[in-house]
Amino acid sequence: MKPKVSIIIPFYNCPYIEQAIQSALDQTYDNIEILVIDDGSTMHAERITPYLEHVYYLGKMNGGTATALNHGIQMSSGQYVAWLSSDDLFYPNKIANQLHFMLEQNARISYTSFNSINADSAVTQLDVTPRYSNEIDFYRTFLNANPINGCTVMMRRDLFERIGIFNESLPYTHDLDLWYRVLLNGIKIHFLGQSLVAYRWHEEMGTKKHAEAIQHEVAYTMGKYKPSLEWLISQMAFV
């Protein structure tokens, strides 16, 4: 039997939500469940109404993206978990191609490349994700940057049982915090060099609206894990 994949879509006052849901419904892989987690929205919830027969719609009090993702993880039933921001898009073969890759590689977690799009869904940049010639260079990137777009990630459910779920005290860097925990637990993050996600840049996106707060939280999160990661990299250099 084909593994079930849970697609979690956190939603908070986003006017693009129906496009995100439709992109999840348009997947060529059929054994999926879609969970839309409404994080206390006061606008645009009516856009979800046409899709209620096809998704699990779960409401909660506002608590931030990490709380919505964790609620979705806890309520989902798939052996694999992926998530999609409500202003971004999955391309139709996202789940099928990535799951095939993970099964082939026996991967517990993987990420892919992505395209950038604008507010009108027009592609502005192709194949954005950098490539690394070796694993040490990939690890070193985490000392100063986050090379992984969270919406490109797929994980096996049992990985959450090992490393824990998202840190709800981090409104903006909960994904980066998770990547550090994966790396420091000795788990390989596999990369599929296909653009399977469209990442939308627009004026209301959190990356722009909360840039200063994000910058401070990134510095905190990187500082927390940097000594351990530097030690791990030093050990890898001798292997």
Q: What is the pLDDT of residue 161?
A: 94
With 90 as the cut, is the pLDDT of residue 238 above it? Answer: no
Q: Degrees (nearest 5) of the Cα angle 148, 115, 225?
A: 10
Rounded to 5 degrees, φ, ψ at 60 are -155, 165
Which tens digits make up the pLDDT trace of 13-33? 999 999 999 999 999 999 999
pLDDT grade for 56, boundaries at 50, 70 and 90: very high
Looking up residue 231, the CATH number of its domain turns out to be: 3.90.550.10
Which tens digits make up the pLDDT trace of 156-192? 999 999 999 999 999 999 999 999 999 999 999 999 9
Which tens digits make up the pLDDT trace of 60-109? 999 999 999 999 999 999 999 999 999 999 999 999 999 999 999 999 99
Average pLDDT, the chain: 95
With 80 as the cut, is the pLDDT of residue 223 above it? Answer: yes
pLDDT grade for 204, boundaries at 50, 70 and 90: low
What percent of the chain is modeled with pLDDT above 70?
Answer: 97
Domain span holding position 98: 5-236
Give this prediction's pTM.
0.96
Distance in Å from the first CA to the final CA of the chain: 39
198 and 117 Cβ atoms separated by less than 8 Å: yes
Q: What is the pLDDT of residue 129?
A: 97
Number of structural domains found in the chain: 1
